[in-house]
Amino acid sequence: MTEGIVGMSTGLNVAQARISILLAVLKMVRDFLQSALAALPLSAQELNPQGDPAAKPDVTSEVRRIGEGVLADFLDPAIRELSRAMQYGTGEPPSS
């Protein structure tokens, strides 16, 4: 029975190490995307929001919108949930 517990513990340690690496990579991707979005110049539409409301969005505005959506809808939630998963079994309550 002890071998099974040790095996589960080792498996958990390996999984936590992999999740830790994944978290670091996701945080780097998030930071890189944020810096890329921050480096985008404001488009003419963004500089003049009272312009033609029927105009198609320009490339810069669309890239910014898509990037912000990726951050809000995918990267930030993944980082938050994987961080919470890392806290299981540590005695610390999961943060919200």
Res. 1: pLDDT tops 70: no
Contact 37, 64 (CB under 8 A): yes
Can you give the residue ranges of every domain in the chain?
2-87
Residues 6+ away with beta carbon under 8 Å from 58: 43, 44, 45
Residue with tokens 């912000």: 68
Residue 47 pLDDT level (bands cut at 50, 70, 90): confident
Give me the pLDDT at residue 96, please.
Answer: 46
Higher pLDDT, 47 or 26: 26
Q: How many helices (DSSP H) and strands (DSSP E) are in the chain?
A: 4, 0
Distance CA 48, CA 36 (A): 22
Distance CA 82, CA 72 (A): 15
pLDDT in tens, 4-32: 555 568 888 888 899 999 999 999 999 99
Give me the pLDDT at residue 46, please.
Answer: 82
pLDDT in tens, 67-92: 999 999 999 999 999 999 888 766 66
